[in-house]
């Protein structure tokens, strides 16, 4: 027979309310009591019904992950990171894909918050970097955390997890420069993503430091997709003065650039170096494997979820005068250089 909260309370010698506080990870419970209750929970294999808990109480135990991103690897990494934080704190996750360019997105967010009874939102680009969306979320009086590029102008830094795309892009470009490349093409991601501008800024800064003027003919607009990488690389490689290296704004685009180069019988990296960004599975599934910048999306998402949950839980704790800051939440990430086989010395 399945154990109930009454069974846990009786065996632990505490009230049902105390068991509920322990299960909900509320900070107002003494450590000794928490330990005793959790030992009984484990012994009885008690599993609280989180959906029923949401319906029964005034507090919500669900957070929502809002995204609009064609990269399935990115979405899965984000989802898994958020789930880790939710499970550790007794919360559930609502996954909500949406179209950031839709005129109805604001009404959609309002409906989600008002009818799904959520404790908070994790917003990823481009939602997290769109002011109109942020204003809508603020008007709904719901806790939220934005995952944003450090290139974004921040008025609510306490609600943000930042990724320093510019610093990482600077490192990738400097890597190519140190290999002797001087004509380095740059394939931009979607213009609606602030990360696109951060990565372009890092590329330009590295060139400037090396005394090389950025050539506008080597910088192409695009999208964060394989097809965009194919198209951009084809354009660059068919130009009168093709580059000896290509910096693609993410690994999916870099894989597309690699595909285009192979169709043109260009050897990688002997005749052309290609680098990507994010260190997604795309970077390891190509041949040769891609040099890239490792962006720990799983950990970024985990920290974002932990931050929004600390805000949601802190509200209830503050009412009883026991609000505490959650430790171990990293607020800024700098993707690190990962050198693989797709980058080599500039051809002579």
Q: Return the pLDDT at 220.
A: 98
What CA–CA distance (Å, rounded) separates 25 from 310?
10
Fold of 5-48: 434 Repressor (Amino-terminal Domain) (1.10.260)
The pLDDT of residue 48 is above 70: no
Q: Report pLDDT digits (tens) over 251-277.
A: 999 999 999 999 999 999 999 999 999
- Calculate mean pLDDT across residues 227-238: 98
The pLDDT of residue 59 is above 70: no
Q: Return the pLDDT at 224.
A: 93
Q: Return the pLDDT at 38.
A: 86
Dihedral, CA of residue 290, residue 295, residue 298 and residue 304, to nearest 10: -160
Q: Report pLDDT digits (tens) over 276-319.
A: 999 999 899 999 999 999 999 999 999 999 999 988 776 544 33
What CA–CA distance (Å, rounded) separates 281 from 273?
19
In our burial notation (b when 16+ CB lie closer than 10 A, e otherwise), range 187-198 reads bbbbeebbbbbb
Q: What percent of the chain has pLDDT over 70?
A: 90
Return the higher-pLDDT residue of 115 and 48. Answer: 115
CATH of the domain spanning 166-295, picked from 3.40.50.2300, 1.10.287.3240, 3.90.480.20, 3.40.50.2000? 3.40.50.2300
Among 26-30, 100-104, 168-172, the range with the most confident prediction by mean pLDDT is 168-172
DSSP 8-class letter at 61: -
User: Structure tokens of 77?
Assistant: 């990494």
Q: Report pLDDT digits (tens) over 107-134.
A: 988 888 877 778 899 999 999 999 899 9
- Calculate mean pLDDT across residues 35-42: 86
The pLDDT of residue 142 is above 80: yes
Peptide bond into 288 cis (omega under 30): yes
Q: Return the pLDDT at 27.
A: 63
What CA–CA distance (Å, rounded) separates 127 from 223?
16
pLDDT band at 54 (very low <50, low <70, confident <90, very high): very low
Q: What percent of the chain has pLDDT over 90?
A: 58
Q: Return the pLDDT at 61.
A: 78
The residue ranges of every structural domain in the chain are 5-48, 55-164+296-333, 166-295
The pLDDT of residue 324 is above 70: no
What CA–CA distance (Å, rounded) separates 145 from 161?
7
**Whole-number mean pLDDT of the chain?**
88
CB burial class (10 A; 0-12, 13-18, 19+) of residue 102? exposed
What CA–CA distance (Å, rounded) separates 247 from 187?
6
What CA–CA distance (Å, rounded) separates 29 from 33?
7
Q: Return the pLDDT at 91.
A: 86
Q: Return the pLDDT at 100.
A: 86
Q: Which of 220, 224, 213 is nearest to 235 (CA)?
A: 220
The pLDDT of residue 56 is above 70: no
Q: Return the pLDDT at 20.
A: 72
The three-state secondary structure class of 182 is coil
Q: Report pLDDT digits (tens) over 148-193.
A: 998 887 778 889 999 999 999 999 999 999 999 999 999 999 998 9
Q: Report pLDDT digits (tens) over 75-88.
A: 999 999 999 999 88
What is Dmax (Cα atoms) for the chain? 81
| Residue corresponding to tokens 């609280």 | 48
Domains 5-48 and 166-295 share a fold: no
What CA–CA distance (Å, rounded) separates 298 from 235?
34
Domain 55-164+296-333, architecture per CATH: 3-Layer(aba) Sandwich (3.40)
What CA–CA distance (Å, rounded) separates 176 from 78?
30
Q: Return the pLDDT at 208.
A: 98
Q: Return the pLDDT at 102.
A: 86
- Calculate mean pLDDT across residues 42-70: 70
Q: Which of 258, 263, 237 is nearest to 248 (CA)?
A: 258
Question: In sequence order, what DSSP letters do the residues of 206-263 get, joined into one string?
Answer: HHHHTT----GGGEE---SSHHHHHHHHHHHHTSSS--SEEEESSHHHHHHHHHHHHH
């Amino acid at each position: 027979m399945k154990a109930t909260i009454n069974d846990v309370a009786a065996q632990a010698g505490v009230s049902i309310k105390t068991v509920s506080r322990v299960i909900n990870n509320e900070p107002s419970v003494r450590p000794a009591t928490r330990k005793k209750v959790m030992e009984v929970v484990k012994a009885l294999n008690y599993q609280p019904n989180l959906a029923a808990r949401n319906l029964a109480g005034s507090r919500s135990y669900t957070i929502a992950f809002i995204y609009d991103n064609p990269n399935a690897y990115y979405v899965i990494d984000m989802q898994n990171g958020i789930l880790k934080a939710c499970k550790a704190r007794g919360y559930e996750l609502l996954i909500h894909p949406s179209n950031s360019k839709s005129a109805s997105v604001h009404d959609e967010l309002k409906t989600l918050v008002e009818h799904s009874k959520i404790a908070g939102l994790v917003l990823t680009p481009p939602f997290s970097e769109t002011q109109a969306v942020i204003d809508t979320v603020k008007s709904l009086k719901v806790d939220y955390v934005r995952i944003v590029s450090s290139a974004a102008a921040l008025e609510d830094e306490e609600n943000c997890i930042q990724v320093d795309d510019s610093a990482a892009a600077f490192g990738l470009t400097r890597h190519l420069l140190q290999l002797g490349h001087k004509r380095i093409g740059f394939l931009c991601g979607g213009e609606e993503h602030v990360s696109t501008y951060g990565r372009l800024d890092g590329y330009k800064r590295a060139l400037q430091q090396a005394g090389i003027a950025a050539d506008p003919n080597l910088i192409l607009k695009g999208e964060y997709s394989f097809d965009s990488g194919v198209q951009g690389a084809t354009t660059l490689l068919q130009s009168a003065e093709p580059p000896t290296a290509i910096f693609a704004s993410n690994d999916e685009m870099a894989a597309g650039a690699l595909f285009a180069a192979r169709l043109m019988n260009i050897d990688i990296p002997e005749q052309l170096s290609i680098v990507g960004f994010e260190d997604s599975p795309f970077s390891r599934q190509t041949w040769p494997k891609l040099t890239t910048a490792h962006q720990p999306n799983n950990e970024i998402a985990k920290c974002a979820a932990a931050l929004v949950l600390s805000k949601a839980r802190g509200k209830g704790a503050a009412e009883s005068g026991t609000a505490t800051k959650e430790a171990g939440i990293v607020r800024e990430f700098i993707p690190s250089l990962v050198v693989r086989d797709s980058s080599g010395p500039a051809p002579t």
